[in-house]
Structure 1
């Protein structure tokens, strides 16, 4: 039984109030499948707070966030974090973040939940500030205000002073001028920031299919570069979000795990030929959608025998239908064009029934075929990576509208 199935069984057991079974599965996941939980951290974290029952998993996740807060604070899904989850994080004395950064993220979280607030702060009315205050009121007492540098109090907190308790703001002003004077407001202790380096993460295998040389070349294709990136100047980080040999080969697994993820690379290895084929999708996969997805930025590719020097790149030429979302998501996974790279299985396992294909016809949406045959095939393994930009470098995402 794959890890995803165990996780879903835990959810079902909890819903049916099989508490002993649910707790055993929860502990089994933490002890035996911690790496899977970390790889699918965002999914797991939002899921446990949605059900609000899994205290051990909640602690497991919060321990990780305390040490590596960027995993959630820099996530695109941060603003959808439930209030109870954010409160739980801000309560941590060992949260490894500067207090002024925590304040910035709290304001970001609060304003995102009120999209009608004016973009420019100088246009805010008293009612706007009260709206924000109402949204973040459970989190405000958890900020360690008296441990924020003076410059950040002036630059970051003062503009939002109307959402603060008046006694707190007065104490904070006096603290800036006379830091040794006794305070009438309860002062939380500073967070316990680690001075030593955090333990190095255990390095899991990057990929069962490709090497760093493939990553550099495919990254170059994303940016339409004539000269390939080297291993040292590639501006992208590839984050593994799914591996068939770990998460399962069912089409439904692809849609459940990849749902909502944009800028992804799907990579497969064909059984019997060792060909590597794949595709880049700049759009977000949507498991609720049925029909075409239109883009002029996608492409498909292959490496014969896995050889980086024997590659075929095929860019989309017909924007409408560049990708397709089938309504049979129990059988059909990712589909580029008119089945020009299709992952498909009637037995819900891409490795079993040779129903995957790279079909070539006069109706192709892509420039050329990435295989020399239309024969269907099974795969050995497949992976989906999320391609993330290094903010210090210029690349495709920074110029793409």
Structure 2
């Protein structure tokens, strides 16, 4: 069970930042006159950033004084630093319109906040409106550690050049950034305009205040200075692509700064376009060619003109044809009829089957299969690269060559399967006409070759067609491939339903250990545990010595040692405690040497005292081993209903139990606490402070003798998270020893306090089934955690399974601070009714959280609204249908004042008409019309009931 209170945690740490009474670090941020001072806590900063961890460690190694250190950051603006400081404390980035994302990402990179850097980079690339041009463009281009962002910034500048070139920032731009812009083919400015902007930039960077705007007044030194400034930029100006008139203006003013000989060659080029200049003629910018097309743009036109065509003419005869009826034709490969492209011709363009059947110019060979069934295939690397990323990678760094032919060996794929997939690569058609071909072999080979589309098509087909499987071999093959989690799940479920297909097959003895362990972990494996053990021993013997004597009396000690080594990783997954004691004792007598002593002792202790606490009991009971006493529903149905009772919408609870308890469903009865990892949680590292409490200044001694435990903590976090601790520190209601504050809490158990302390530090509440929620809520009230108290109270009021009876009842009634829980503790009687409909076999039912026929009208707390009609009010009841177990229907009450209706003449009824049971003179009849609940659960308004069952929902399966 887990509650997520991280939003509260964020707010608490924001308050800590904004009211930093215990700060021990100062920062001076910005340049004059815009300097601002910030106060912070080194503990928080070091926990969240390795950068701060390093600078603080270095500072305190060299400075033993207890003065507050001041760190200066003139390169970061106060606004940017404030945003990042709040992010460090809260995990939330809040940016207003004034802040620059470029400034933030550069500063975040300096502070080594890599998760934030990755998120900001993605945001800037996907949101053009997030850029402040030209400032952000210049900022990003100055920092080489963002190559993708730098590329995007250049593209953005090329599409919006005037925002860059006509800004004040342009004149202060560094030369290398300007050269990056000049190199861009996509710069959407005429070349003469680029030249004019370059001259402006050059004049502004000559560091001369005497240069006149009138060029006629320039001295030779002025031109010389300008040439020196522009020396590295001029080679990137595309003079050959200016108009003659524009170039005449350039040479008329600045001929003296042009490279020697360039002027003459440009003039010669304009006079004779076939001239071959010695200077490198840069290709024209895309913007120089306004391209009039609604289908392709200038870039596409440039690609067509400069790249080789995919499908070259194979015959010069009839390569190009034209007729009034057809329009232009490229032989028969691509024709235009009445202005539309021929669809069949399009298919021919990409069908390379002829190239596969007659592999001229091949440069790849495949040797496929194992001896004696090995076959060679020839192929073309260009096709393989285009069709598969796996081949793209393999062919880019291949090392196996013979006369320029690249050789691949695929012994794990059969020639027949490879031929099908190679033809698919060339044609795009997956054709399987041979019934002997195994689809599982094809999907595994397709994954190996990187043919994702084939995998995507075959996987649903295999999931929906049981006959497509060649079991058991196929099941075992799939289980070895992590690339198909759904197929692995399907395979395991199929084996669990009919385990003999695997365990009695030859393939079982050759099964890999990892696959066998997958099977042993399955809760649904329909075998008695003693049978599973026998199969495991059989597998173990086959994998050490197949001819080993089956009579154990003839075994040597080395035989047992070898068997123990072989089964060492499998034995922990055998659920010995589910066996009968006699069965286990027989196993022990035969295989005592291979069962760990600690495990053997625990099992014996468990058989002597089933209520003893043993580590192996964490393994759930196999579903097949517990006979659920119902003719209508099974254990998985019960688990789903239990999850609905606890307010869940879809997923059933896992089924967990021990022999002495039977199955348990719901929150508190689970035997394993499953706390999912929280990727991206901003304070995931704060828990490290608790587990390794360096710099602690608080001790809390918890529990009563002899069960006393000491915990260490940090006052700034305790005060930030709970008012009661803040008041306790302010009132000095604690002992001080050597600067460490000590609290005594004898009334709280160490286990409960540890849970509460982790909640204070992380915002997450993790509770296993050994801990009482009532004890936790009392402690939460004691420490002043109102949000946690409210959620626990709500949960306890709505989930009877969360109570540990009778202990929790007695505990809660001893505390007068919890009137709602005390009232709830006096109630009982929730039930589930399950109905099987005659003829159709439909399975429907309902959950009543109240007692049926409770008519205590004098009790003010009664849910009874009308004593004459026995009408009850509740928001927690529901009705359901399990007819289609793949898509069950859950219908919760929509009119709470009509939730439950009872009368002696009618029997139980959910809502006024939604699901009612009545007794006729012959049969039990049901009626259903949607009225007081969200959904209709059965189409028939009247139906005969073949049988129905009533299950009482107990607070806990065992009081022991």
Q: What TM-score, normalized to structure 1?
A: 0.44
More RCO (CA 8 Å, sep 6+): 1
Q: What TM-score, normalized to structure 2?
A: 0.19
